[in-house]
């Protein structure tokens, strides 16, 4: 039988179904016998079994042992940091090399930042830069060497920061770059900065809501005439075919080695299409209409409260016939400088550009709809930030296919997609309107 | 930043780092207000927060609410089934369609069973068959139609069994195939069977240790002259190069957009090569010597206790020079019938055959070793079943590279690979011998 699942479980993951029992050490403990864990204040320890009131069977860095419960605070204690941000999981992800390697290996992503420093170098020279969520420090290094910044503050909350300092030193940039280990929210810089750089974008642009940290950093640290990179962001939507996905997940059940397994189709739709397919590679030919922009952010001015609920009507003119399986989404960001006439540096994650580690996000309807050229697909997309799990959101897509001639409604659709945790929604979002 | 991790967390996973807080309902509960969960006896409920002594904040099938603690038993209660088998996680995996779709889509795997029924049809006709862990029932259907068995008992412990019965009926096989929902260990059949079929193989052949259930089923239900499919199994090992893996995970840090990140190499080795790489696709050219069989099982006679610890000395004659990055492992199984002269039907998951969903398993050494033709790579591989997590095991590979002429030792290696959970091992396994 399959063992692939276990591979994935070997990775620290963020999101649905991964509420582990974790505690944080509030004081050092030496471990008095072989079956007691040794740990230091601040260690995050996995609780495997709450064996007794006084001792929990736990794991830390691959070692197993008991921890005395009076030395730790459980994450579920209300006294502890709100679990709704899942910061422990979140920063634990970014504390491993795996994600950083993936991001660094994403050349369109990383080189867009580098190019911004190349194009606007004249304006970043000798300036002070803040890198929010610096990771391994690559963007700070671009700022220091390509951008010739005088000073870079590189802030990182995950454990990767332990390494960042030594990487900066090894590359002879210790004078220019100051690595600060901590959360942006708690940090006070000795000065305001000319430029903020950050790579905060996630699925549907907003997932993980790191943008909130960037906005907080901006309001706290950016000079009034300062610049923020990316300077703007756009989120796009397009109706599309996804025949191979539909074939592989739904139609496959119609004929299984000659047997009829089609009674599993409904369950398959539920299981495979309940959430968006996050790593879809949309081919341009599968777009049934030109994409439309459903969200435009000006990073200098966007406010946190703007992101709680986003509503956008759409209207697509179908350009080719085909089964409409769902909608695809992607985003782009732009880097500009007010003192420069250079054309904007753009990083697009769309199907017409080189594939990035974000891919495209595919929202599959339960059943494909037939559309023909000049049909209109009109409706509304709503993004609702999860009120409980603050790094998550829910996407609602609803609308209809209209005939080209008399605008008569042929078919309609309405679907709610959680990314990733479910949330309780008002009836108006759950129930399709007539 | 990356969002890929979250995709994986959306899947039910088995193994390391996935000890969720789960409880099982011991009685129905109607839910008295909007914020109370409604559930039925037997439901497995995710506990998100142990809010108070009397109420836990929980999730079931996407709904959130409080559950009264006197209606449930927590998995960590010692009164509950031993967590060490993780049967809840295990069967939950196999209760989703995803894994079954993956297994069904693996043609070499599925068609090997079909072919066995084709080749030995004369001997299975009108016989009684037991299918252990039948899943969607595909092997039972082969038994009934291709193998023309009189009767098939199809046993399945995961929730997929809900569907199996209706699939069997839909395909007109309800007379022949009896689907039994439950664990093999607890089931009493009305008769002994002529043939047992099962697809129990995992990473390193044994991972998940479903083989134990098959052995128990055999001892309980198989006639003395009965047949078991697969009839035998072999596990293979070969020294190999894995340049692209080493480049992508370790050497990549030497030059990151012109910066020197090489101080992360050591950490990368620890993170990426600590456990085997489970889904490696070994090309035959990367094998540095002929594979050797490190384990041979006769399924009619193997005993559970044979699998607690397996030791095998190996000696490879290197056939080409290259960096020895590690060792690859794969398995094959054979289907035979004592009353038939037909050549054995073989399913091999090795690099010379079509790729299966098992791929090959790659055990990376920390540093590559140089080997040249006629060098010998000798040593020992040990498989130790995890004494605590009974579905897991640890693999220890140790040995040396010897010169061809005088057998002088050039280099040595010793590494412990947990699959997946760590376990405490005796010193003799952890410490390399001189």
Report pLDDT for A85. Answer: 59
Q: Are residues A44 and A107 in the same domain?
A: no
Report pLDDT for B427. Answer: 79
Question: Residue B104: which of A256, A262, A357 has the nearest Cβ?
Answer: A256
Q: Are residues B156 and B107 in the same domain?
A: yes
Residues of chain B positioned with their CB less than 8 A from the CB of A19:
20-21, 46, 48
Question: Residue A357: which of B4, B13, B101 has the nearest Cβ?
Answer: B4
Contact assignment for A167 to B142 by CB distance below 8 Å:
no
User: Considering A92, A118, A175, A208, which one is annotated as catalytic?
Assistant: A208
Here the CATH number for the domain that contains residue A410 is 2.70.160.11
Residues of chain B positioned with their CB less than 8 A from the CB of A97:
264, 267-268, 271-272
Contact assignment for A99 to B201 by CB distance below 8 Å:
no
Closest CA to B136 of B174, B109, B97, B185: B97
Residue A290 backbone zone (phi > 0: left; psi -120 to 50: alpha; other: beta): beta
> Edge-to-edge, what's the strand order for the sheet holding A409-419?
A309-317, A376-385, A393-402, A409-419
Question: Residue B200: which of A1, A17, A210 has the nearest Cβ?
Answer: A1
Here the CATH number for the domain that contains residue B37 is 2.30.30.40
Residues of chain B positioned with their CB less than 8 A from the CB of A12:
5, 17
Answer yes or no: is B217 within a domain: no
User: Considering A156, A199, A232, A376, which one is annotated as catalytic?
Assistant: A199
Residues of chain B positioned with their CB less than 8 A from the CB of A46:
17, 19
Answer yes or no: is A222 within a domain: no
User: Considering B92, B208, B291, B376, which one is annotated as catalytic?
Assistant: B208
- Inter-chain Cβ pairs, chain A and chain B, closer than 8 A: 238
Best of A2, A255, A423 to disrupt the B interface (most B CBs within 10 Å) is: A2
Distance CA B248, CA B35 (A): 49
Question: Residue A357: which of B2, B19, B275 has the nearest Cβ?
Answer: B2
Stretch B65-73: mean pLDDT, rounded?
Answer: 82
Contact assignment for A63 to B422 by CB distance below 8 Å:
yes
Find, in chain B, the residue whose alpha carbon is nearest to that of A51: B76
Q: Are residues A278 and A339 in the same domain?
A: yes
Q: Are residues A375 and A238 in the same domain?
A: yes
Least confident segment among A5-9, B155-159, B217-221: A5-9
Distance CA A232, CA B433 (A): 60
Answer yes or no: is A241 within a domain: yes
User: Considering B5, B36, B191, B199, which one is annotated as catalytic?
Assistant: B199
Q: Are residues B66 and B150 in the same domain?
A: no
Find, in chain B, the residue whose alpha carbon is nearest to that of A249: B101
Contact assignment for A49 to B83 by CB distance below 8 Å:
yes
pLDDT exceeds 90 at position B96: no
Question: Using the 8-state DSSP alphabet, how is residue B83 labeled?
Answer: G
Answer yes or no: is A102 within a domain: yes
Answer yes or no: is B138 within a domain: yes
Q: Are residues A322 and A395 in the same domain?
A: yes
Q: Are residues B354 and B278 in the same domain?
A: yes
| Cα-Cα-Cα-Cα dihedral sign, residues A71, A96, B21, A35 | negative
* Nearest CA distance, B374 vs chain A (angstrom): 35
CA-angle at B307, arms to B182 and B100, nearest 5°: 40
Could you tell me where the DSSP H helices lie in A146-210? 161-170
Residues of chain A positioned with their CB less than 8 A from the CB of B426:
none
Best of B6, B11, B163, B251 to disrupt the A interface (most A CBs within 10 Å) is: B6
Report pLDDT for B85. Answer: 59
Answer yes or no: is A260 within a domain: yes
- Domain end position, chosen among A28, A57, A83: A83
Distance CA B232, CA B339 (A): 16
Residues of chain B positioned with their CB less than 8 A from the CB of A261:
136, 167
Find, in chain A, the residue whose alpha carbon is nearest to that of B133: A1
Q: List all residues 6 or more positions away from B111 whose beta carbon is below 8 Å from its beta carbon.
A: A257
- Domain end position, chosen among B58, B83, B108: B83
Residues of chain B positioned with their CB less than 8 A from the CB of A417:
none
Distance CA A176, CA A148 (A): 9
A24-66 confidence digits (pLDDT tens): 776 778 887 888 898 887 677 888 878 787 888 888 877 888 8
Contact assignment for B96 to A271 by CB distance below 8 Å:
yes
Q: Are residues B283 and B380 in the same domain?
A: yes
Report pLDDT for B291. Answer: 98
Burial of B40: CB neighbours in 10 Å, binned 0-12, 13-18, 19+? exposed
Find, in chain B, the residue whose alpha carbon is nearest to that of A93: B5
CA B54 from centre of chain: 39
- pLDDT bracket for residue B421 (50, 70, 90): confident
Contact assignment for B252 to A105 by CB distance below 8 Å:
yes
Answer yes or no: is B432 within a domain: no
Q: Are residues A369 and A246 in the same domain?
A: yes
* Nearest CA distance, B357 vs chain A (angstrom): 7
Find, in chain A, the residue whose alpha carbon is nearest to that of B256: A104
* Nearest CA distance, B95 vs chain A (angstrom): 11
* Nearest CA distance, B75 vs chain A (angstrom): 9
* Nearest CA distance, A253 vs chain B (angstrom): 9
| Cα-Cα-Cα-Cα dihedral sign, residues A226, A229, A232, A233 | negative
Contact assignment for A257 to B207 by CB distance below 8 Å:
no
Range of the domain at A395: 233-419
Residues of chain B positioned with their CB less than 8 A from the CB of A395:
none
* Nearest CA distance, B376 vs chain A (angstrom): 32
Q: Are residues A143 and A252 in the same domain?
A: no
Residues of chain B positioned with their CB less than 8 A from the CB of A176:
none
Contact assignment for B278 to A6 by CB distance below 8 Å:
yes
A200-236 confidence digits (pLDDT tens): 999 999 999 999 999 999 999 999 999 999 999 999 9
Going by DSSP bridges, is the β-strand pair A177-181/A151-156 parallel, antiparallel, or unpaired?
A: parallel
- pLDDT bracket for residue B33 (50, 70, 90): confident
Find, in chain A, the residue whose alpha carbon is nearest to that of B204: A3
Contact assignment for A103 to B358 by CB distance below 8 Å:
no
Distance (Å) of CA A392 to CA A15, A278, A308? 8, 14, 11
* Nearest CA distance, A358 vs chain B (angstrom): 7
Distance CA A32, CA A223 (A): 53
Here the CATH number for the domain that contains residue A132 is 3.40.50.150
- Domain end position, chosen among B83, B112, B130: B83
Question: Residue B14: which of A5, A103, A424 has the nearest Cβ?
Answer: A5
Q: List all residues 6 or more positions away from A428 whose beta carbon is below 8 Å from its beta carbon.
A: none
Cis peptide before B420 (omega within 30 of 0): yes
Question: Using the 8-state DSSP alphabet, how is residue B39 labeled?
Answer: B
Question: Residue A13: which of B6, B14, B93 has the nearest Cβ?
Answer: B6
pLDDT exceeds 50 at position B79: no
Least confident segment among A12-16, A359-363, B95-99, B176-180: A12-16
Average pLDDT, chain B: 89
Q: Are residues B254 and B155 in the same domain?
A: no
pLDDT exceeds 90 at position B432: no
Distance CA A297, CA A79 (A): 35
Question: Residue B263: which of A10, A166, A268 has the nearest Cβ?
Answer: A166
Report pLDDT for B75. Answer: 54
Reported residue count of chain B is 434
Closest CA to A356 of B1, B9, B10, B258: B1
pLDDT by residue for chain A (434 residues), tens only, comes to: 433 333 333 322 222 233 347 777 767 788 878 888 988 876 778 888 787 878 888 888 778 888 988 777 665 443 344 445 566 666 667 778 999 999 999 999 999 999 999 999 999 999 999 999 999 999 999 999 999 999 999 999 998 998 999 999 999 999 999 999 999 989 999 999 999 999 999 999 999 999 999 999 999 999 999 999 999 999 999 999 999 999 999 999 999 999 999 999 999 999 999 999 999 999 999 999 999 999 999 999 999 999 999 999 999 999 999 999 999 999 999 999 999 999 999 999 999 999 999 999 999 999 999 999 999 999 999 999 988 788 899 999 999 999 988 899 999 999 999 998 888 888 778 777 66
pLDDT exceeds 90 at position B261: yes
Contact assignment for A98 to B271 by CB distance below 8 Å:
yes
Best of A1, A16, A160 to disrupt the B interface (most B CBs within 10 Å) is: A1
Query: What pTM does this model have?
Result: 0.81
CB A114 within 8 A of CB A146: yes
Q: Are residues A188 and A250 in the same domain?
A: no
Q: In sequence order, what E strands does B77-174 have?
A: 128-132, 151-156
Residue A291 bears catalytic tag? no
Distance CA B344, CA B119 (A): 9
Find, in chain B, the residue whose alpha carbon is nearest to that of A104: B256
| Residue A6 backbone phi and psi in degrees, to 5 | -65, -30
Reported residue count of chain A is 434
Question: In total, how many domains does chain B have?
Answer: 3
Stretch B161-190: mean pLDDT, rounded?
Answer: 95
CB B295 within 8 A of CB B235: yes
Q: Which helix (H) or strand (E) holds A238?
A: strand A232-240
A113-137 confidence digits (pLDDT tens): 999 999 999 999 999 999 999 999 9
Stretch B308-326: mean pLDDT, rounded?
Answer: 97
Contact assignment for B256 to A136 by CB distance below 8 Å:
yes
Question: Residue A2: which of B17, B19, B103 has the nearest Cβ?
Answer: B103
B5-25 confidence digits (pLDDT tens): 333 333 222 222 233 477 777
Q: What is the CA radius of gyration of chain B?
A: 24
Answer yes or no: is B313 within a domain: yes
Find, in chain A, the residue whose alpha carbon is nearest to that of B357: A2
Contact assignment for A1 to B201 by CB distance below 8 Å:
yes
Contact assignment for B4 to A96 by CB distance below 8 Å:
no
Residue B102 bears catalytic tag? no
């Amino acid at each position: 039988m399959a063992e692939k699942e276990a591979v994935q479980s070997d990775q620290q993951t963020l999101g649905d179904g991964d509420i582990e029992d974790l505690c944080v050490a509030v004081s050092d403990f030496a471990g008095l016998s072989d079956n007691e864990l040794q740990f230091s204040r601040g260690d995050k320890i996995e609780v495997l079994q709450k064996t007794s009131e006084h001792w929990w069977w736990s794991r830390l860095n691959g070692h197993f042992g008991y921890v005395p419960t009076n030395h730790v605070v459980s994450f579920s204690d209300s006294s502890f940091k709100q679990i709704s941000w899942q910061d422990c999981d979140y920063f634990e992800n970014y504390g491993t090399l795996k994600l950083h390697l993936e991001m660094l290996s994403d050349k369109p992503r990383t080189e867009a930042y580098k190019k911004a420093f190349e194009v606007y170098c004249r304006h970043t020279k000798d300036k002070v830069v803040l890198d929010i969520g610096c990771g391994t420090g690559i963007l700070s290094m671009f700022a220091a060497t390509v951008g010739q910044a005088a000073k870079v503050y590189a802030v990182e909350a995950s454990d990767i920061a332990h390494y960042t300092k030594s990487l900066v030193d090894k590359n002879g940039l210790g004078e220019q770059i100051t690595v600060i280990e901590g959360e942006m929210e708690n940090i006070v810089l000795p000065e305001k900065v000319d430029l903020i750089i950050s790579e905060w974008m996630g699925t549907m642009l907003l997932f993980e809501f790191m943008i909130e940290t960037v906005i907080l950093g901006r309001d706290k640290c950016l000079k009034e005439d300062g610049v923020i990179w990316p300077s703007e962001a756009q989120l796009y939507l397009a109706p599309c075919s996804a025949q191979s996905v539909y074939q592989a997940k739904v139609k496959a059940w119609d004929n299984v080695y000659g047997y009829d397994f089609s009674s599993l189709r409904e369950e398959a739709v539920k299981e495979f299409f309940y959430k968006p397919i996050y790593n879809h590679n949309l081919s341009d030919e599968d777009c049934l209409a030109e994409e439309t922009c459903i969200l435009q952010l000006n990073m200098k001015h966007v406010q946190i409260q703007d992101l709680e609920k986003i509503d956008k009507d759409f209207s697509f003119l179908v350009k080719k016939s085909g089964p409409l399986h769902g909608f695809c989404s992607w985003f782009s960001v732009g880097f500009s400088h007010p003192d420069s006439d250079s054309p904007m540096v753009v990083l697009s994650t769309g199907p017409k550009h080189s594939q990035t580690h974000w891919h495209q996000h595919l929202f599959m309807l339960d059943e494909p709809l037939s559309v023909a050229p000049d049909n209109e697909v009109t409706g509304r997309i709503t993004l609702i930030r999860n009120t409980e799990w603050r790094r998550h959101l829910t996407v609602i897509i609803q609308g209809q296919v209209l005939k080209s001639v008399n605008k008569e409604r042929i078919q309609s659709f309405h679907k709610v997609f959680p990314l990733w945790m479910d949330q309780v929604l008002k009836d108006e979002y759950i129930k399709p309107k007539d």
